[in-house]
Structure 1
């Protein structure tokens, strides 16, 4: 099995990628999605965040039930990102880190999960930062014979080039995902969305 991964600026693009991957015969339980849920830290109490982390921990099992990955979306909170909607094996792994981790563990959870799945660490930091800024990541485990097809599906769904996005982030002084930073506000996320629409 190989891993194909994509960052998307909009949840619709990520949703379209997941739907196309499923239509191409990639099982739901081999696909994960982590997307910023559109709320901010101020709108989510610590109690709700903890409940969300618990929900996220069970998301992988729900998503793998044969009814399609997107019906298994749950909520979890990631330090530095805020609330996300997530489903699949990556979400379940990261949720376990969120639920039981010391400070900094959740970043290690999502980044560590991506890296252990074969994503280069420099890309994993870009993906996590992309979610922080309102984006979504899709990760699929695919048979070697389906790697090219799955990669093409992600590209057709408005895949973000992680090398180019890193350059864009670095122009603002960014170097890596930092889970101690505050999540983006609605206005900041909206500004990011507008910024990348002009780059398409």
Structure 2
């Protein structure tokens, strides 16, 4: 009787898990996001260019987040391509100012994200110069040189990104992507940012 009971429980548990999986598929919930918001978690994604990153930052800015709340990661080459091309946009001008070229200071979200990129900390890695700006820069500095022993993946893990996502972000950065992340202050912001990142063509949107 006990064996049969346990067998029924196992079947019910399996059915319950399957039911949750179906529910997740219908609601769009997956490993990259779920509704169980955790305080202190980070939402991040990879953006293919400055324009998409700028639009995503605008969504953060409109919710009352500042440059101090946002982290960016990209290669030296990506920063030079997107933020130091001399284009006369507020974003480009602010980035150039931060690089020492000089221009008018802008106060828009685009200008701010350019400034974040311009003042990013440069980390020398084998075969790649990595730019890290925002809270992750401090986290990586705290990890010390040991965080860099694994190259870019080691740097990403050292800055707080889970190892299972670090390899994907490494590929994105090497392919010219811009990694942006933020720590949402509440569950509503967490879901909103995840949606906004995806709406602005972010890839590998995760919360950790």
Contact 1:81/1:131 (CA < 8 Å) preserved in 2? no
Change in 2 beyond 3 A, CA 1:156/1:76? same
Q: Give the superposition deviation at 1:114.
A: 3.0
Q: Are 1:87 and 2:133 matched, yes or no? A: yes
Matched with 1:31 is 70
Matched with 1:9 is 48
Query: Structure 1, unaligned stretches of length 5 or more?
Result: 40-66, 164-200
- What TM-score do the two structures reach when normalised by structure 1? 0.54
Contact 1:94/1:109 (CA < 8 Å) preserved in 2? yes
Distance in 2 of aligned mates of 1:81 and 1:130: 15
Q: Are 1:134 and 2:180 matched, yes or no? A: no
Distance in 1 of aligned mates of 2:143 and 2:159: 10
Contact 1:131/1:137 (CA < 8 Å) preserved in 2? yes
Distance in 2 of aligned mates of 1:97 and 1:22: 29
Distance in 2 of aligned mates of 1:162 and 1:154: 7
Matched with 1:109 is 155
Change in 2 beyond 3 A, CA 1:91/1:81? farther
**Greater CA deviation, 91-100 or 154-163?**
91-100
Deviations 1:103-141 (A, max 9, x none): 4366423223233xxxx4222220122102211101100
Distance in 1 of aligned mates of 2:133 and 2:52: 16
**Secondary structure in structure 1 of the residue aligned to 2:202:** coil
Distance in 1 of aligned mates of 2:127 and 2:195: 28
Matched with 2:201 is 158
- What TM-score do the two structures reach when normalised by structure 2? 0.52
Distance in 1 of aligned mates of 2:202 and 2:116: 23
Matched with 1:124 is 166
Q: What is the aligned-residue RMSD (CA, Å)?
A: 3.2
Distance in 2 of aligned mates of 1:81 and 1:31: 26
Distance in 2 of aligned mates of 1:92 and 1:143: 20
Change in 2 beyond 3 A, CA 1:68/1:102? closer
Structure having the higher Rg: 2
Distance in 1 of aligned mates of 2:51 and 2:173: 14
Change in 2 beyond 3 A, CA 1:27/1:81? farther
Change in 2 beyond 3 A, CA 1:93/1:123? same
